Structure 1
Amino acid sequence: MKEESPKAIFYALAANLGIAVCKFAAAAFTGSGSMFAEAIHSTADCGNQVLLLFGLKQARRPASLLHPLGAGRVIYFYSLIVALLLFFVGGVFSVYEGIHRLMAREPLSHAYIALGVLGVSVVLETFSLMGAIREIRKTNPDKSMWRWFRETRESELLVVTGEDVAALLGLAMAFVAVLMTMITGNPMYDACGSIGVGVLLMVIALLVAREVKSMIIGESASPEVRRAIEAHLRTRKEIRSIINLITLQWGRHVVVAVQAEMIDYESGRAMVDAINIVEADLQEKFPQVRWVFFEPDVPRVRTEASLD
Structure 2
Amino acid sequence: MAALGANLAIAASKFVAFAFSGSSSMLAEGVHSLADSGNQALLLIGGKKAQHEATPQHPFGYGRERYIYAFLVSIVLFSVGGMFAIYEGYEKIKHPHEIEHWYWPVGVLVFAIIAEGFSFRTAIKESNELRGTLSWSQFIRRAKAPELPVVLLEDFGALIGLVLALGGVGVALLTGDGTWDGIGTVCIGVLLVLIALVLAGETKSLLLGESAGLEDVQKIEAAVVDGHTVTGVIHMRTLHLGPEELLVAAKIAVQHDETAAQVATAINAAEARIRAAVPIARVIYLEPDIYSEAEAAKGPDREATPGGPAPHATEH
Q: 1:161-200, aligned counterparts within 5 Å?
A: 161-200=152-191
| 2:237 matched residue in structure 1 | 246
User: Which one-letter code corresponds to 1:272 in the other structure?
Assistant: A
* 1:14-163 superposed matches below 5 A: 14-163=5-154
CA distance in 1 between counterparts of 2:15 and 2:228 reads 65
- Tell me how far 1:227 sits from its aligned partner: 2.8
1:78, distance to aligned residue in structure 2 (A): 0.7
Map 1:4-23; keep pairs closer than 5 Å.
10-23=1-14
Q: Which runs of 5+ in 2 are unaligned?
A: 302-316
| 1:280 match | 272
CA contact (8 A) 1:72 1:250 kept: yes
Compute the displacement of 1:224 (Å).
2.6
Tell me if the contact between 2:224 and 2:273 (Cα under 8 Å) persists in the aligned partners.
Answer: no
Provide the rounded CA distance (Å) in 1 between the counterparts of 2:282 and 2:196: 31
The 2-side partners of 1:218 and 1:264 are apart by 35
Q: Which has the higher contact order (CA 8 A, sep 6+)?
A: 1
1:178-214: per-residue Cα shift (whole Å, max 9, x none)? 1111111111110011100000000000001000000
Give distance in 1, aligned partners of 2:183 and 2:170.
Answer: 12
Task: For residue 304 of structure 1, report the CA deviation from its aligned partner.
Answer: 7.3
Whole-angstrom distance in 2 between the partners of 1:198 and 1:306 = 51
Match of 2:211 among 191, 206, 220: 220
User: Secondary structure of the equivalent of 2:235?
Assistant: strand
The structure-2 alpha-carbon separation of the partners of 1:271 and 1:255, relative to structure 1 and needing over 3 Å to count, comes to same
Hey, what does 1:7 align to over in structure 2? none
Summarize the alignment of residues 202-217 of structure 1 with structure 2, pairs less than 5 Å apart. Answer: 202-217=193-208
Deviation at 1:144, TM superposition (A): 1.0
**Match of residue 297 from structure 1:** 289
Between the aligned partners of 1:54 and 1:154, the Cα distance in structure 2 is 14
Counterpart in the other structure of 1:266? 258
Range with greater deviation from structure 2 (205-214 or 277-286) = 277-286
Give, in whole Å, the separation in 2 of the partners of 1:305 and 1:161: 46
Against the structure 1 CA distance between its residues 306 and 80, is the aligned structure 2 distance closer, same or farther, given a 3 Å change threshold? closer
Change (3 A) 1:189 1:58: same
1:165 is aligned with what amino acid?
F
CA distance in structure 2 between the partners assigned to 1:157 and 1:203 by the alignment? 18
8 Å CA contact retained: 2:25, 2:181 = yes
Aligned-residue sequence identity (percent) comes to 38
How far apart, in 1, do the equivalents of 2:135 and 2:237 lie?
Answer: 26
- CA RMSD after TM alignment: 1.9
Q: TM-score, normalised by structure 2?
A: 0.89
Give per-residue Cα distances to partners, 1:274-297, cap 9 Å, x unaligned: 100110121123221111110112
* 1:235 to partner: Cα distance: 6.2
Q: Matches of 2:82 and 2:173 in 1, distance apart?
A: 24
Distance 1:290 1:236 in 2: 23
Shift of 1:257: 1.0
Contact 2:224 2:271 (8 Å CA) reproduced: no
Per-residue displacement from partner, 1:22-45 (whole Å, max 9, x unpaired)?
111111111111111000000011
Question: Is the Cα contact below 8 Å between 1:236 and 1:278 reproduced in 2?
Answer: no
8 Å Cα contact 1:95-1:199 kept in structure 2? yes
Distance in 2 of aligned mates of 1:225 and 1:190: 50
**How far apart are 1:237 and its partner, in Å?**
4.7
Kindly indicate whether the alpha-carbon contact (under 8 Å) linking 2:212 and 2:239 is maintained by their aligned counterparts in 1: yes
Taking the aligned partners of 1:128 and 1:20, their CA distance within structure 2 comes to 14
Structure 2 counterpart SS, 1:22: helix
More deviation, 129-138/92-101: 129-138
In the TM superposition, residue 233 of structure 1 has moved relative to its aligned partner by 3.1
CA separation of 1:70 and 1:144: change in aligned 2, threshold 3 A: same
CA distance in 2: counterparts of 1:218 and 1:228, whole angstroms: 20
Superposed CA deviations along residues 50-81 of structure 1, whole A, max 9, x for unmatched, are 11111101000011100001000111111101
